Amino acid sequence: MNTMQITHIKHPTLEDFENKACHEILNCAQKSISLRDKFSIVLCGGNTPKGIFKKLAMHKADWNKWHIYFGDERCLEKNNPDRNSMMANEAWLNHVPIMSSHKYFIDAELGPEKAAKNYEQLLSNISTFDLVLLGFGDDGHVASLFPEHHWDNSRSVIPVYNAPKLPRERVSLTPKRLSKARKILFLVTGSNKQTSFNRWMKKKDLPAACVCAEEEIKILSYDLL
């Protein structure tokens, strides 16, 4: 994470963790809308954010000013329940009045190369995200950037092949593009991630250490030491 100061906030319960994450997201949205009349957020996938997304769906917000992007996607059929977009839709996006034109899905059903090129073209008109949400895998991966994989960081979006977790083919934003963010919020749960988390905090060579932000990086965790 370069030399940027990061804040790590531990939570005693999963409920506290999810409530704090909601609070952080909604506060960031309110601030961004008051300053720029819009809020751009990059969503992460996996199990960790699902409860957070469900809680967001119960809140009131200026939803018509939210713009939704994705940090990565799995190359599966469009309505496959294992896609990050499907999880976000079912838990949150289908339940709030965000305009369909403000939801920017990765068309990963086209395959990793074509989908990456399409999303890269879409993001060429976007300068800086207001908030990027990132999970953290037990192997230390973020988005679909895996340890010991190599990626072209001159690009904004890349195809991913031979991922160590199924499905093997994916699409991911690069560290360079994820770092074009005013704020990054890492969401980390599970004691099975402790070893990789410790490596990350010691500045070891993990994908999470390649990401930085313009203003702030904050880690929210539950069930970590």
> Which residues partner with 68 through β-bridges?
41, 103
pLDDT at 2: 47
Asked if residue 183 is part of any domain, the answer here is yes
Asked if residue 35 is part of any domain, the answer here is yes
* Regions of the chain with pLDDT less than 50: 1-2
Peptide bond into 167 cis (omega under 30): yes
Nearest residue to 30 (alpha-carbon basis) of 57, 70, 65: 65
- Structural domain span for residue 43: 6-222
pTM for this model (two decimals): 0.96
Look-up: residue for tokens 């977790």?
A: 165
Distance of CA 141 to the CA centre of its chain: 12
pLDDT at 5: 75
Token output for 72:
């990565």
- Per the structure, the count of domains in the chain is 1
Q: What is the CATH number of the domain that holds 96?
A: 3.40.50.1360
Asked if residue 1 is part of any domain, the answer here is no
Are 209 and 1 a contacting pair, CB within 8 Å?
yes
Asked if residue 22 is part of any domain, the answer here is yes
pLDDT at 1: 44
Continuous segment of H or E residues that includes residue 129: strand 129-134
Are 139 and 164 a contacting pair, CB within 8 Å?
yes
